[in-house]
Amino acid sequence: MREHAVLIAGGGPTGLMLAGELALAGVDVAIVERRLNQEIVGSRAGGLSARTLEVFDQRGIVERFLAEGQVAQVTGFAVTRLDISDFPTRHNYGLALRQKHIERILAGWVGELPVVIYRGCELTGFVQDAAGVTVELSDASEIRADYLVGCDGGRSLVRKLAGIEFPGWDATTSNILAEAEVEEEPPLGVHRTALGMHAFGREDYEIRDGKVVFASEGPINIMVTESIAGAAGEPTLGDLRQALIAACGTDYGIHGLKWISRFTDMSRQAAAYRKGRVFLAGDAAHVHSPVGGQGLNTGVQDAVNLGWKLAQVVKGLSPEPLLDSYHAERHPVAARVLRTTMAQVALQRSDDRTEALRDIVLELLGLEGARKTIAGEMSGLALRYDLGEGHPLLGRRMPDLDLATPDGAIRVFALLRNARPVLLNLGAAGSLDIAPWLGHVRLVQASYGGPWELPTLGAVSAPSAVLIRPDGYVAWVGEGTQDGLHDAMITWFGPPG
């Protein structure tokens, strides 16, 4: 029987990111993926948020995505775009990039790391006990793992077999996505009618002055709202024609279907992200409408939060209760995402009352405070984990400062390349004592004379030291003393020794 410390079911963006995080931490990790390669048929997520770009920057791979994507102000809320160009981050923008490219780039990175991928098979069952999980695969083989993580999508078999409830809200709208040939060119762009939204575009496009300019030739990408009453099972060309005629009065002579899929605004979230040695991440833990573009990004953030914690426990550095903080931190984040996506879906309706509500919301989002608050949330830059009271940095993402060290200039994110925790001492050399943890927490003596700024909050007081978790979030802030430092070290990185 094959054995691994962690087995991940599903090799999409969440599964790939988690595998990369664990491999960087020196954990034996494997992925089970039913696809024979990383190719995706169809168009799913189409962009990366500012915080996800920061996470990729922390691992030294952001340039791979920037080289293929298109920088744009894609942060938005329902019917309006929200400018984040004044936010204090190197990535004060979103990146337009289709999921098939995101997955390919992630897979290329993971391929450089010691990660085993079992392709062409999938999980069919598992049994967990006090020591681990025995996983059954579709090829009749078995794998033994210390922990199993379900990154197997919204219909997650891992979630179902673990007996984790998936409460939420049923669909109220349904949309068909497709790529096909047409006899008559439709009006490219996004349109709203009394029946809902529809849009036409092409695979190839450029963003010029903030506007999408599509290629002049090629198959048409289509998104059209359909009647929720008939939305069941896999959609057909006939379903697409019917929806187009209802929305546009014509089907544009559609033919030559290349792919077709359906999505709804069903919103559900796993009641628990952990059950014993089994975890859920990404769409397996939460599903919602794609409006706002938060699904893939939320999954990547799940992976980065869980990865280092699993590594700490697998390597015997931290006690097993550390793993409970994954649900405690990430469940409220996705719960909020569900609420914001449901609100955005509601604002996209076309009746007179919704039009009136949308006008008011647009007015409110034009206010500086409201714009910063919502844009900070949608971009992922304003997230704060509840790590207690104290300095505004506590629980927030660490800014990517340009530091001066005895070894030369370095960026904060460069200190996080290998997914290790960092204690940044900005005070007197030798003023912080963490000798028992020096084997796995990196102590960096540095100075920084610039402003300390956080998205939505603005300027904050300069700390004397900062303890940074491997996911880039601040676990402790020194304000002239090291009070509470050892307690924070024990909480997040295990007892001394």
Nearest to 69 by CA among 45, 90, 89: 45
With both helix axes pointing from N to C terminus, report the angle between 295-314 and 324-347 in degrees, rounded to the nearest 10: 180
The one-digit pLDDT tens for each residue of the chain (497 residues) are 899 999 999 999 999 999 999 999 999 999 999 998 887 766 666 799 999 999 999 999 999 999 999 998 767 887 688 999 999 999 999 999 999 999 999 999 999 999 999 999 999 999 999 999 999 999 999 999 999 999 999 999 999 999 999 999 999 888 899 999 999 999 988 887 777 778 898 877 777 776 778 877 888 899 998 878 767 778 999 999 998 998 899 999 999 999 998 888 999 999 999 999 999 999 999 999 988 889 999 999 999 999 999 999 999 999 999 999 999 999 999 999 999 999 999 888 888 898 899 999 999 999 999 999 999 999 999 999 999 999 999 999 999 999 999 999 999 999 999 999 999 999 999 899 999 999 889 999 999 999 999 999 999 999 999 999 999 999 999 999 999 999 999 999 999 87
Which single residue is written with the structure tokens 């599509």? 214
Pairing of strands 142-150, 465-468: unpaired
Instruction: Give the DSSP letter of residue 292.
Output: T
Question: 3-state DSSP call for residue 445?
Answer: strand
Percentage helix, strand, coil for the chain under 3-state DSSP, each rounded to 5: 30, 30, 40
User: Which helix or strand (DSSP H or E) is residue 95 part of?
Assistant: strand 94-96
The one-letter code for the residue type at 80 is: T
Alpha-helical segments (H) within 48-175: 50-58, 62-66, 99-110, 157-162
- What distances in angstroms separate CA 279 from CA 146, 322, 376, 382, one per listed residue? 12, 13, 28, 26
The one-letter code for the residue type at 458 is: G
- What distances in angstroms separate CA 177 from CA 43, 201, 235, 260, one per listed residue? 8, 11, 9, 6
Count the neighbouring beta carbons within 10 Å of the beta carbon of residue 108.
Answer: 13
* pLDDT at 145 (0 to 100): 98
Q: Are 303 and 14 in contact (CB under 8 A)?
A: yes
* pLDDT at 213 (0 to 100): 80
Collect all residues with Cβ–Cβ distance below 8 Å to 160 and sequence separation of at least 6. none
* pLDDT at 465 (0 to 100): 98
Does domain 2-168+268-379 correspond to CATH entry 3.50.50.60?
A: yes
Q: Which two tokens stand for residue 119?
A: 């392709």
Task: Domain 174-264: give its CATH code.
Answer: 3.30.70.2450
Residue ranges, CATH 3.40.30.120, the chain: 402-493
Question: 3-state DSSP call for residue 176?
Answer: strand
Length of the chain: 497
Question: Exposed (0-12), middle (13-18) or buried (19+): which is 211, by Cβ within 10 Å?
Answer: exposed
The top-level CATH class assigned to 402-493 is alpha beta
The one-letter code for the residue type at 93 is: Y
**What pairs with residue 466 in β-bridges?**
424, 477
Looking only at Cα atoms, what is the longest distance across the chain?
74
Residue ranges, CATH 3.30.70.2450, the chain: 174-264
Residue ranges, CATH 3.50.50.60, the chain: 2-168+268-379
Q: Are 301 and 250 in contact (CB under 8 A)?
A: no
- What distances in angstroms separate CA 323 from CA 157, 310, 491, one per listed residue? 22, 7, 11
Instruction: Give the DSSP letter of residue 401.
Output: -
